[in-house]
């Protein structure tokens, strides 16, 4: 089958789909765009823990951001990482506001703003002398609040 673009005014019986591509996204930390993001995983904006009783509880599962390792110590994520590591096991965690932004044809179409975000785990991909792959850094992010905004439509 050959894919073809059909002008909207042409009546073909086909209906255009309004969807997002998973590869068009951006991440911001405290309003600063973060470059080199490979993926955002397990972003759950709303989840209820449903018990057999009448009690409902909102669940705030952590999500993961996987990114390339940046060498710049002033990079917004590197500053957050250093503060997190320096805090050790202190109950008071360095918190940020993180935004995950869905983009469609260069336009921001949906934004998840996560407040009170803090890092609970930092892992790295394998170092391997036989590989030319970039080292990946994966941050597990806990959070307090998440707001979802639709920006078009």
pLDDT tens digits, one per residue of 89-148: 999 999 999 999 999 988 999 999 999 999 999 999 999 999 999 999 999 999 999 999
Tell me the two tokens of residue 28.
């911001």
Q: How much is the average pLDDT of 13-38?
A: 84
Strand partners for 123: 138
pLDDT of res. 13: 61
Q: Residue 11: pLDDT band by 50, 70, 90 thresholds? A: low
CA atoms within 13 A on the CB side of 16: 9
**The residue count for the chain:** 153
pLDDT of res. 12: 58
pLDDT of res. 20: 73
**Distance, CA of 45 to CA of 122 (rounded, Å):** 22
Q: What are the pLDDT digits (tens) for 34-77?
A: 999 999 999 999 999 887 667 788 899 999 999 999 999 999 99
Delineate the domains of the chain, giving CATH numbers in brackets: 25-150 (2.30.110.20)
Q: What is the 3-state secondary structure (H, E, C) of the chain?
A: CCCCCCCCCCCCCCCCCCCCCCCCEEEEECCEEECCEEEEECCCCCCEEECCCCCEEECCCCEEEEEECCCCCCCHHHHHHHHHHHHCCCCCCCCEEEEEEEEECCEEEEEEEEEEEEEEEEEECCCCCCCCCCCEEEEEEECCEEEEEECCC
pLDDT of res. 1: 43
The residues, ordered by sequence, that sit 6+ positions from 81 with a Cβ below 8 Å of its Cβ are: 119, 122, 139
Tell me the two tokens of residue 101.
């932004």
């Amino acid at each position: 089958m050959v894919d073809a673009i059909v002008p909207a005014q042409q009546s073909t019986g086909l209906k255009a789909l309004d969807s997002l591509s998973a590869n068009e996204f951006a991440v911001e930390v405290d309003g600063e765009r973060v470059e080199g993001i490979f993926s955002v995983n397990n972003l759950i904006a709303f989840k209820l823990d449903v018990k057999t009783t009448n009690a409902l509880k909102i669940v705030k599962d952590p999500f993961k951001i996987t990114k390339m390792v940046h060498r710049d110590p002033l990079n917004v994520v590197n500053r957050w990482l250093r503060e997190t590591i320096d805090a050790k096991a202190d109950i008071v965690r360095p918190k940020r506001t993180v935004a995950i932004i869905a983009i469609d044809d260069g336009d921001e179409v949906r934004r998840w703003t996560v407040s009170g975000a803090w890092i609970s785990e930092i892992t790295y991909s394998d170092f391997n002398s036989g590989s030319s792959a970039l080292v990946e850094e994966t941050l597990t992010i806990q959070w307090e609040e998440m707001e979802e905004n639709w920006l078009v439509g």
